[in-house]
Amino acid sequence: MSAVRGERYDSSGLAEVVTQALDGNRRAIARLITVVEQGGQAARDVLARVYPRTGRAHLIGVTGAPGSGKSTLVNEMAKAYRRQGLEVGIVAVDPTSPFSGGAILGDRIRMRDVATDPHIFIRSMATRGSLGGLARATADAARVLDAAGYPVILIETVGAGQSEVEIAQFAHTTVVLQVPASGDEIQAIKAGILEVADIIVVNKADLPGADNAAAALEAMLDLNSVPTRLHHGRHLTAQPPAGDGDSTAQHWRPPVLKTSALRGTGVPELIDAIQAHREHQQRSGFSRLKERERVEGELREIMSRALLGELLHHLSAAELEHAVTRIVAREQDPYTAAHVLMAQARLPQDKKESTEYR
């Protein structure tokens, strides 16, 4: 075997792999995901080729605390979609160790039923330093699957708990898992995970306390039932287009469902609810608004990453070291230091030299 991953393709080689992936070749799809995960110029080339073919899949996020049954439920959901004759892509994210940079990706353990289905594609991803429950390239991996023709894509987040909001920005429908006896009502009204839910699922409903948990969640939702143009807790900046005369179409109240992924109960109802949410979003015009918001957020993020890279490119290691030393010695605060460094980095190259000569 030659060099590790990444230097495998030149530009025309990549174009060939893209063509194969768009035809549904699974090996090619797997390789493209590796390329977009690595980032850099090759990833940009791939995404540029793939992007025009995206936008067809229904992206469904599944999030919830560690051990709440996400992988097991995703396995059941995939089986349900297969019964409808739909092909399913699955992207499952697990955390990267912040200490070693390595990761153990164990989501396939619970997905064994669908492991050999030729119409299901499962890809495990490590967060590689991203916070917020997804990897930087999760969206791009889903795009590869979208372009390859998978009409349903299930995205399983890291089980971080209370702050996984990224998925709500990216997925069309976000399913939040809760388990019985996982905290009182106050947990449910804290900012965070419930705000991002389009559908709330009390999983492990075979355990005692499931009815109580569902009732508590319903009660909390009732507190929040004033119809506003809030979307995931944010006021949308634009007015949604007038619906088809149905004023209730403006507001989506997340249903609370009970499932037992272990026994497979409640899953058909969940699939129906996901479909109802999808139709509601399209009918009410929210899906278009949300798409614009998501694209704007993504643009900002890409630019801020690129800008940081560019700034760092213009700063020498010594300049950075010097600033760190001064901050550690309490000679300068980090905000001032960052401000000074950014000003230095922005100086055009010729100016920089002339000031040094002076």
Partner 1 sequence: MADRKVRVLIAKPGLDGHDRGAKVVARGLRDAGMEVIYTGLHQTPEMIAQAALQEDVDIVGLSMLSGAHMSIVPRVLAELKECGLQDVSLFIGGIIPDDDIPRLQKMGVRGIYGPGSPLDQIVAHIRREVGDD
Question: Which residues of the shown chain bind partner 1 in the complex (CB under 8 A)?
Answer: 1-6, 26-27, 30-31, 33-34, 37-40, 42, 96-97, 99-106, 108-109, 112, 115-116, 121-124, 126, 128, 309
Question: Is 72 or 173 the residue whose CB approaches partner 1 more closely?
Answer: 72
Minimum CB separation of residue 225 from partner 1 in Å reads 42
Minimum CB separation of residue 91 from partner 1 in Å reads 11
Go through 249-288 and write b for each residue having 16 or more CB atoms within 10 A of its CB, e for each that does not. bbebebbbbbbbbeeeebbeebbebbeebbebbeebbbbe
What letter would DSSP give residue 210?
A: H
Minimum CB separation of residue 271 from partner 1 in Å reads 23
Question: Is 100 or 225 the residue whose CB approaches partner 1 more closely?
Answer: 100
DSSP symbols for 78-91: HHHHHHTT--EEEE
CB atoms within 10 A of CB 99: 6
Give the chain's largest Cα–Cα span.
77
Minimum CB separation of residue 109 from partner 1 in Å reads 4
Minimum CB separation of residue 39 from partner 1 in Å reads 5
DSSP symbols for 4-46: STTTT--HHHHHHHHHHHHTT-HHHHHHHHHHHHH-HHHHHHH
Minimum CB separation of residue 22 from partner 1 in Å reads 17
What letter would DSSP give residue 199?
A: E
Angstrom distance (rounded) from CA 39 to CA 30 = 15
Minimum CB separation of residue 82 from partner 1 in Å reads 15
Question: Is 230 or 308 the residue whose CB approaches partner 1 more closely?
Answer: 308
In the block, tokens 């699939």 appear at 271
Q: Burial, 196: exposed, middle or buried (Cβ in 10 Å; 0-12, 13-18, 19+)?
A: buried
Residue pair 54/147 in contact by the 8 Å Cβ criterion: yes
Minimum CB separation of residue 113 from partner 1 in Å reads 11
Q: Name 215's Cβ contacts closer than 8 Å, sequence gap at least 6.
A: none
Question: Is 141 or 205 the residue whose CB approaches partner 1 more closely?
Answer: 141
Minimum CB separation of residue 177 from partner 1 in Å reads 21
Question: Is 117 or 269 the residue whose CB approaches partner 1 more closely?
Answer: 117
Instruction: Note the residue count of the chain.
Output: 358
Alpha-carbon torsion angle 235, 241, 243, 245, nearest 10: 110
Task: Tell me the two tokens of residue 307.
Answer: 């800008």
Task: Tell me the two tokens of residue 173.
Answer: 């429908």
Question: Is 20 or 344 the residue whose CB approaches partner 1 more closely?
Answer: 20
Question: Is 23 or 333 the residue whose CB approaches partner 1 more closely?
Answer: 23
Question: Is 124 or 250 the residue whose CB approaches partner 1 more closely?
Answer: 124
Distances in Å between the alpha carbon of 21 and those of 14, 31, 145? 10, 9, 9
In the block, tokens 């490590």 appear at 126
Question: Is 26 or 83 the residue whose CB approaches partner 1 more closely?
Answer: 26
